[in-house]
Structure 1
Amino acid sequence: MRKFTKFIWIILAVLLTLIIIFGVYFYNLLNDLQVDQTGVITPETAVTYPTVSGINHILLVGVDSTSTEATTRSDAMMLLTLDTLHNNVKLTSFARDAYVNIPGIGYEKLTHAYAYGGAELLIETFRQNFQVDVSNYVVIDFKSFIVLVDMLGGVDASLEDWELREFNRVANENYRKYYDGEDGFIEIQEAGTYTLNGYQTLAYVRMRKSDSIYAREERQRLVVEEVFNKVIRMPFNMYSKLFKQVLPYITTNINPFDLVKLGFTALQIGTDDVRQLEFPDPNKGIEGSLPGKGWVLQWDEESGREQLHEFLNQ
């Protein structure tokens, strides 16, 4: 019996050692992240909606630049919710033209908050207008998005005939501005389902002149979901390569240790139940131009928040 107990302790010691080795290894890799030490740690804006234990929100921000430190508007804003209470993942995309009250600035388009004050002001804008208890963010630029998608082997998407002209125009723009590879530009000439490479996938989520902002944000959610699925299901030995190539291009205020914990939470939840929401509700918003503001999307703040939190907390 004593020999058996000793054997069990040896196995546990080996497993613990492996866990520590892998933990230290990935922690060191994550140190390549651009961690914003001045980022939002203790937000100033209190939220009136209750914080539900087991539900964590991370603001994902895509910026129209080749650097996450550049002063620019946020091209895409999405709330990633890891819900261990209901065992699901939620993706909520926010319209860049949503008319919101930016603290210290006044009513403007949501996309302008990042240009005025970076991720910190964008977080405060989210907390004030949407009453979401979020303080963590991840900012990714266009170049790193291309690297990430290429690392994952591309993203599957369908294109219709009427989308091709706008798609190829934006894809060619992305190729010239953000792509570092030696391959020539690939133009898609007929409708169908394709595995898009990095700069093509960026075009797929950016193009908007061929349809509506809602269709554009739906494409963004679909791509984020597919990327999330691929990262969760990729072979374990591929993570180090992924981290080394992508993380140096990402800025966040989440420290490496907490990021590892969030990663394990995502692995635990899995991808069997990924839910999506477009906000504000396309059927309830009022679209139109305002003097000095341009084209904006106005929304009913009280009912909008109720709808948002009902989705986030179930």
Structure 2
Amino acid sequence: MFKYKANKVILTILLIAAIISSIAGYIYSSFLGKIKKVEIPKDNTPPEIIVEEPKKEKNKIDKEIVNILFFGLDRRNPNEASRTDCIMIISIDESRKKIKASSLMRDMYVPISGRESNRINAAYAFGGADLAIKTVNTNFGLDIDKFVTVDFIGLEKLIDMIGGVEVNVSKAEAKILNSYIKELNYLNSEAAAAPYINSGINLLNGRQAVAYSRIRYVGNGDYERTQRQREVLNQIFKKLKAQGITKIPSTISKMLPYVETNLSNMEILNFALDAMKFDTENIEQFRVPVDGTFKSQSIRGMAVLVPDLEENKRRLKEFIYGK
């Protein structure tokens, strides 16, 4: 009798394992093959950055927190070299189920490997994701090797797929936002025009949300622009989580053709299925350079922010990893 029950338990476990494997196999085959994979050389991070912290502590940090660089490109043609309009470090704290978002302001004037110093957003145009990642790592003492890139056309489609994002728009923002909507409607004339909006809480469609992310000439300029970009990303996370675990694979399947990344198939699958566990209501936010740690200057005809790199490196690491 005991042997019969034991065999029954084993068979039940095997059946459950088979079902889970079948579901995982379906998810894997149905959407992971659609993604645009980009490989980054293994020697991406300079040696001096790798040895900056003791190996034991570095491995401990790496195991607990995963950093992914998010690049938003302002390009119309998928094959054109483009500067990044948005650079963000997404830090995923596996143990605490928390997400942090750190914006790197695009006008920061920093050294770029193999080039003279320039705005940090020029690195992607000079050498794609590889050089952009090296530039961030070298200047801020990080060892990030994972990235996700999406252009504004792709971002528009991604947001439409999840049913838009809810944002509170001020009167000043609405005026500039509508001018950006007009521009995007003209540039994407083959698609249906996005309607203009009024101030207040709005459910923005993809094009409206992209226009909102681009607002610069309201309030504190580019500083508030990065805040809007983080807010849109925050709302995207919330919408994905609200869809529930049964719909997330299908949504991601539709999104992947508009994304470039070097995340492995297993990493994408794990992040997608674990998304339900993370606290997306309270995404912690940060911006580099920090107030009081940079100077506004004009260099070679460019209006740039010259940061105190050592201080910003310290503050960024403190935000990501804690004191």
TM-score normalized with structure 2 length: 0.89
- Judging changes above 3 Å, is the alpha-carbon distance between structure 1 residues 76 and 9 closer, same or farther for their aligned structure 2 residues? same
CA–CA separation in structure 1 for the residues paired with 2:45 and 2:293: 30
Match of 1:301 in 2: 309
Match of 2:151 in 1: 141
Q: 5+ residue gaps in structure 2?
A: none
* Aligned residue-pair number: 310
> More displaced, 71-80 or 230-239?
230-239
Aligned match of 2:233 in 206, 209, 224? 224
CA–CA separation in structure 2 for the residues paired with 1:130 and 1:149: 31
Match of 1:112 in 2: 122
Match of 1:4 in 2: 5
Match of 2:218 in 1: 210
Task: Give the superposition deviation at 1:267.
Answer: 3.8
Q: Is the 8 A contact 1:143 1:179 kept in 2?
A: no
- Judging changes above 3 Å, is the alpha-carbon distance between structure 1 residues 84 and 237 closer, same or farther for their aligned structure 2 residues? closer
CA–CA separation in structure 2 for the residues paired with 1:243 and 1:179: 27
Match of 2:247 in 1: 238
Amino acid at match of 1:233: A
Match of 2:256 in 1: 247
Task: Give the superposition deviation at 1:285.
Answer: 2.1
Secondary structure of the structure 1 residue equivalent to 2:111? strand
CA–CA separation in structure 2 for the residues paired with 1:113 and 1:203: 24
Match of 1:311 in 2: 319
Task: Give the superposition deviation at 1:226.
Answer: 1.3
Secondary structure of the structure 1 residue equivalent to 2:27? helix
Q: Is the 8 A contact 1:40 1:135 kept in 2?
A: no
What is the RMSD computed on CA atoms of the aligned residues? 2.0
CA–CA separation in structure 2 for the residues paired with 1:136 and 1:60: 9
Match of 1:26 in 2: 27
Secondary structure of the structure 2 residue equivalent to 1:134? coil
Q: 5+ residue gaps in structure 1?
A: none
TM-score normalized with structure 1 length: 0.92
Secondary structure of the structure 2 residue equivalent to 1:31? helix
Match of 1:152 in 2: 162
Task: Give the superposition deviation at 1:93.
Answer: 0.6
CA–CA separation in structure 2 for the residues paired with 1:269 and 1:236: 13
1:35 aligns with 2:37: yes
1:175 aligns with 2:185: yes
Amino acid at match of 1:144: G
Task: Give the superposition deviation at 1:68.
Answer: 4.7
1:191 aligns with 2:199: yes
Task: Give the superposition deviation at 1:265.
Answer: 4.4
Measured against aligned partners, the alpha-carbon deviations of 1:272-298 in whole angstroms (never above 9, x if no partner) come to 5421101110333212322x1511111
CA–CA separation in structure 2 for the residues paired with 1:155 and 1:268: 21
Amino acid at match of 1:16: A
CA–CA separation in structure 1 for the residues paired with 2:306 and 2:112: 14
Q: Is the 8 A contact 1:68 1:250 kept in 2?
A: no
